Amino acid sequence: MWKDQVLADPVIPYEERRRRIEAEPLPENIGALIDAAADEAGDRILWNFFDSGETITYAQMRAQVNGLAARLLALGIGKGTHVGVMLPNIPAFPLTWLALGRIGAVMLPVNPGYTPREIAHVMQVAEAEWMVAHADTRAVLDQARAEGLVSLPEERLIVVGGAGPHSWEALAAEPAGSFAPPAPVGHDDLLNIQFTSGTSGFPKGCMLSQRYWLSAGKVNAFRDGRVYRRILASTPFFYMDPQWLLLMTLYQRATLFVAAKQSTSRFTAWLKEHGIEFCLLPWVLHGMAQQAHDADNRVIRANIYGCPRDLHKGIEARFDLNAREAFGMTEIGPAMFMPVERADKVGSGSCGLPCPFRDCRIVGEDSRPVPQGETGELQIRGPGIMLGYYNNPAATAEVLRDGWFSTGDLFRQDEEGFFYIVGRKKDMIRRSAENIAAREVETVLAAAPGVAEVAVVGVPDPLRGEEVKAYLRLKEGVAANGQVLDGIIAAATAGLAPFKVPRFYAFVEDFPRTASLKIAKPQITAGVADLRAGAFDRVTGSWIEGVQA
């Protein structure tokens, strides 16, 4: 088997790999990484957006980034300028990000699927001064501006693929051999304000420096001690993963194969067709019907996240690859990983060992480390973790103390030093690759007509990991009927991105409560065998038989 052949190859012990990665200096900034990679691999293909067939070499990328950076600078986008980028998976996204990085400007990635309210939240919190948007998806931005939610002047809008005050294509049309930023760009300068649901509540903007991204790319490129020449990015660029995968590709002098959209049905075909050697494997593939080419791939390592331990060995066997757990967060980047050579840990449920540049510890309620083997909250520190939440000092102080970031996740550690996630202290729902804050969904639904209180939970799902379910207590005198439910779903659809809109709905007379009369959410689901039973399924448009949960 291919994976057995990989494991038979000699590899430097992980502790030595870690020491080397930490000892070697990082590039001075993103621009320096671009130059080093282009100097060494100029004629090599850097990326292949295979759905559209668009490719670029390292040398072409550098020239186009340089030219775009110069034109953006001429518009007034300088070091520290906050620029929203709301684009699908097209080359303009990474080119814009890298150009902003050369200048020392700051990117605010915006999901094109956001509603006007969500766009306004990101732009207001992060103080967006400019926006790069695609012609096909700018309608929602225009709606937010028309409703007064966003005050972005028209002359500060750059449009990709259509008419606008500034055409992205025109700005990127003049490649340049070099670019010198007017002000020095260093490791501690901001590169992204990346929004995450964090530990609770509405999305918060993580301040991520150039050091954060340079170290994230380097760690992922070299921590296995392997060469990865063909890397897959299957999720949207406005999320974390394709960004660090691109930097990993630059360090490896490899080629990044980019999908227009994630697709579980096409995923294994991509692995085969493009000869992928490294990917992020959505473990929910196990729920898909088997295909003849499932095991026909050249994957050296596939990262998986939160895979049920009982499924792990079967996934490796079905797809004939090394599926290894890893753990990271927007706030701290890569934190742990399972070394590729540790096949003995497959199915153990372990997230692995701390990555280079990261220290991990488990603490109790008193914030002191717990004895090995006991459960507590995971804390992480190291150079390059987020600088804090932008414009949110209270939330920053809550999670960052004495250099340690409190994850909100419960972990334990075994006698070998391997870490295991036990549960989530935070109230989050994980649907496919998305983190959904229950509180945000509850806030939107609570404002729907007739609703008094809401409790949102995750429902186990074989395809997406979890689906979202809303328990609804209606106002006195409001009947639980189809008309009311239609209004609630309409409110959710209008106020939330599609992936956050609950699939399941159930009406309750009242909730279990704590002594302080707060909703005791764990009691809602405790002992319930099937959380779908008795609920309305928005996807099928029908009520599911069974006693209401």
Place of tokens 């967006």: 128
- The reported pLDDT for the residue numbered 434 is 82
Q: Does residue 313 lie in a domain region?
A: no
Residue type, position 501, single letter = V
Helix or strand (DSSP H, E) at 71: helix 58-75
Task: Considering only the C-alpha atoms of the chain, give the largest distance between any 2 of them, rounded to a whole number of Å.
Answer: 72
Please state whether beta strands 428-431 and 434-437 pair in parallel, antiparallel, or not at all (unpaired): antiparallel
238 vs 202 pLDDT, higher one: 238
Place of tokens 């229950």: 438
Q: What confidence tens digit (pLDDT) does each residue in 166-199 have? A: 999 999 999 999 999 999 999 999 999 999 854 4
Q: Does residue 524 lie in a domain region?
A: yes
Examine the pLDDT at 289 and tell me if it is beyond 90. no
- The reported pLDDT for the residue numbered 549 is 42
Residue type, position 446, single letter = A
Local structure of 419: helix, strand or coil: strand
Opening angle at CA 305, ends 302 and 309, nearest 5: 95
Examine the pLDDT at 11 and tell me if it is beyond 80. no
Residues 6+ apart with CB under 8 A from 508: 471, 472, 473
Residue type, position 230, single letter = R
Q: What confidence tens digit (pLDDT) does each residue in 428-473 have? A: 888 987 888 788 898 889 889 998 889 999 999 998 999 999 999 8
Q: Would you say 217 and 27 are in contact if contact means Cβ atoms under 8 Å apart?
A: no
Local structure of 388: helix, strand or coil: coil
Residue type, position 532, single letter = R
Closest CA to 214 of 180, 241, 250: 250
- The reported pLDDT for the residue numbered 548 is 47
Question: How many folded domains does the chain comprise?
Answer: 1
Q: What is the DSSP letter of 511?
A: -
- The reported pLDDT for the residue numbered 1 is 52
Length of the chain: 549
> If pLDDT is split at 50, 70 and 90, which confidence band does 234 have?
very high
Q: Would you say 499 and 431 are in contact if contact means Cβ atoms under 8 Å apart?
A: yes
Examine the pLDDT at 318 and tell me if it is beyond 90. yes
Per-position b or e across 112-136, b if 16+ CB within 10 A of its CB: bbbbbebbbbbbebbebbbbbbbee
Distance CA 304, CA 325 (A): 5
E-assigned strand segments in 96-229: 106-109, 130-134, 157-160, 166-167, 190-196, 204-209
Q: Does residue 305 lie in a domain region?
A: no
Q: Does residue 493 lie in a domain region?
A: yes
- CA 522 to chain centroid, in Å, comes to 27
Domain that holds residue 494: 428-543
Local structure of 279: helix, strand or coil: strand
* pTM, entire model: 0.83
Q: What confidence tens digit (pLDDT) does each residue in 91-116 have? A: 999 999 999 999 999 999 999 989 99
The mean pLDDT value for 4-23 works out to 83
Phi, psi at residue 524, to the nearest 5°? -65, -40
Q: Would you say 239 and 432 are in contact if contact means Cβ atoms under 8 Å apart?
A: no
Q: What confidence tens digit (pLDDT) does each residue in 194-227 have? A: 998 544 457 899 999 999 999 999 999 999 999 9
> If pLDDT is split at 50, 70 and 90, which confidence band does 547 have?
low
Q: Which two tokens mark 239?
A: 């999320």
Q: Does residue 36 lie in a domain region?
A: no
- The reported pLDDT for the residue numbered 104 is 98
Query: From the CB of residue 2, how many other CB atoms can be counted at a distance below 10 Å?
Result: 15
Percent of the chain whose predicted confidence (pLDDT) is above 70: 95
Q: Does residue 413 lie in a domain region?
A: no
Distance CA 104, CA 98 (A): 10
Q: Which two tokens mark 395?
A: 């939330």
Examine the pLDDT at 363 and tell me if it is beyond 70. yes
- The reported pLDDT for the residue numbered 137 is 87
Residues 6+ apart with CB under 8 A from 481: none
- CATH number for the domain spanning 504: value is 3.30.300.30
Q: Does residue 472 lie in a domain region?
A: yes
Examine the pLDDT at 347 and tell me if it is beyond 50. yes
Local structure of 135: helix, strand or coil: coil
Residues 6+ apart with CB under 8 A from 516: none
E-assigned strand segments in 350-450: 350-354, 359-363, 376-381, 400-401, 404-413, 419-424, 428-431, 434-437
Q: What is the DSSP letter of 506?
A: E
Angle 438-446/482-495 helices, nearest 10 degrees? 130
Place of tokens 């391997």: 418
Q: Does residue 131 lie in a domain region?
A: no
Weakest mean pLDDT among 124-128, 283-287, 464-468: 283-287
